[in-house]
Amino acid sequence: MNFELLIPGYYIRRGSTLERSLLVKFMQRTYQDLFPTQDFAHLARTVEQYLSKDTPLWWVDFLGESTSPPTPPSPIACLWVGNAIDQVTGNRHAHIFLLYVVPEHRRRGIGTALMRYVENWAMQRGDRQIGLQVFQSNQAALNLYNQLGYQTQSLWMLKQLDRQ
């Protein structure tokens, strides 16, 4: 495995399409943080449909004072990125599907470091912007993205339909 220092004590490594079940677990944790009573078994279908060699996945492992990676790796954060087309300009750009840091490792700069990492990755491949979706109720994530210069471009609106 190819490890790279993300911030002191934390290493980032490229994930694999073979890590579907781990990605599903991280996605479920993400949504359960916000909607604790919901069942998110359906997220496995999302991962099955979208995880590919064209949608890179990165894991962050906590090494603490150690200089060698844990065996087996035990990720504490995840970043999964796809592609989108800007409907105004027609340009392809990175779209963040998932950014998750386990609660015990939050507020240590990992989310910020991951966002900077993916911004550099996107610039290296020629992207001029990055998109993401965030729940309006996720104030911590909104604060992070605002601090990093992200701005609201559109609003996704939903209406619940009554079944009669």
pLDDT in tens, 12-50: 999 999 999 999 999 999 999 999 999 999 999 999 999
Q: Are strands 75-85 and 57-62 parallel, antiparallel or unpaired?
A: antiparallel
Mean local confidence (pLDDT), 41-65? 92
Domains of the chain: 3-147 (3.40.630.30)
Mean local confidence (pLDDT), 5-18? 93
Q: Is pLDDT above 70 for 134? A: yes
Distance, CA of 113 to CA of 101 (rounded, Å):
11
pLDDT band at 155 (very low <50, low <70, confident <90, very high): confident
Q: Are strands 130-132 and 92-101 parallel, antiparallel or unpaired?
A: parallel
pLDDT band at 64 (very low <50, low <70, confident <90, very high): confident
Mean local confidence (pLDDT), 115-144? 96
Of the candidate ranges 53-67, 96-110, 140-154, the one whose mean pLDDT is the lowest: 53-67
pTM score of the predicted model: 0.90
